């Protein structure tokens, strides 16, 4: 859904991309840094759950989890802008970026699940739905059928929902459980939408 705003977001990040280029950063550097930040976010979600008996410490870890996830998302957007502006886009870079995104997604969901911040079943369903949403698009586009903007929950929407439920979770930790429940339903619905779209397109 938010894919339609991609060009606007990219134009807003042009200055940041120019700064990154001037200091010698490449899209691969940004992708790698974003992956590290995303994995760190997952660790902080896990630590949030482990510290549930200490509300203050738990909130600090949750705040760090959100902060690192936002920073990871920012670098993930910036690496694409940098690649396009300076003609550094490549199949290798696109493949690496997509692969690292899946690792970040998995780390964040697993941190939330293992930390006990959501129901185990809903957490697993949300993780599966998120990974399959991306897989279905990749497999479809390998067969020359575009999936851009198909489905209610792409990666941007997933990150926004996790961030929003985490921010609410700073005051009411149960919000993360409900956020994951919504993701479990919405991501698998997106997979279904994309499967139906694919079969209608062939």
Query: Which residues are annotated as catalytic?
Result: 101
Helices (H), the chain: 6-12, 14-22, 27-50, 55-85, 91-114, 120-142, 155-169, 174-201
- Selection from 125, 69, 63, 138 nearest residue 98 by Cα: 138
CA distance 75 to 32: 9
Other residues' Cβ atoms within 10 Å of the Cβ of residue 121? 11
How many residues are present in the chain?
202
CA distance 38 to 41: 5
């Amino acid at each position: 859904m938010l894919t339609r705003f991609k060009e606007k977001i990219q134009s807003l990040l042009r200055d940041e991309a120019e700064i990154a280029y001037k200091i010698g950063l490449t899209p691969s550097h940004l992708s790698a840094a974003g992956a590290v930040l995303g994995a760190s976010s997952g660790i902080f979600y896990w630590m949030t759950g482990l510290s549930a008996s200490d509300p203050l410490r738990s909130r600090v870890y949750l705040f760090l989890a959100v902060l690192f996830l936002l920073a990871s998302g920012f670098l993930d957007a910036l690496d694409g802008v940098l690649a396009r502006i300076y003609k550094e886009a490549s199949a290798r870079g696109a493949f690496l970026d997509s692969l690292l995104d899946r690792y970040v997604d998995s780390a964040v969901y697993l941190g939330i699940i293992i930390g006990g911040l959501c129901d185990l079943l809903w957490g697993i369903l949300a993780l599966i739905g998120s990974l399959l949403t991306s897989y279905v698009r990749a497999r479809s586009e390998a067969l020359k059928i575009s999936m851009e903007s198909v489905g209610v929950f792409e990666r941007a929407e997933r990150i926004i929902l996790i961030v929003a439920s985490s921010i609410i979770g700073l005051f009411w930790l149960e919000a993360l459980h409900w956020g994951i429940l919504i993701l479990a339903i919405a991501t698998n619905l997106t997979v279904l939408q994309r499967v139906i779209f694919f079969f209608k397109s062939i």
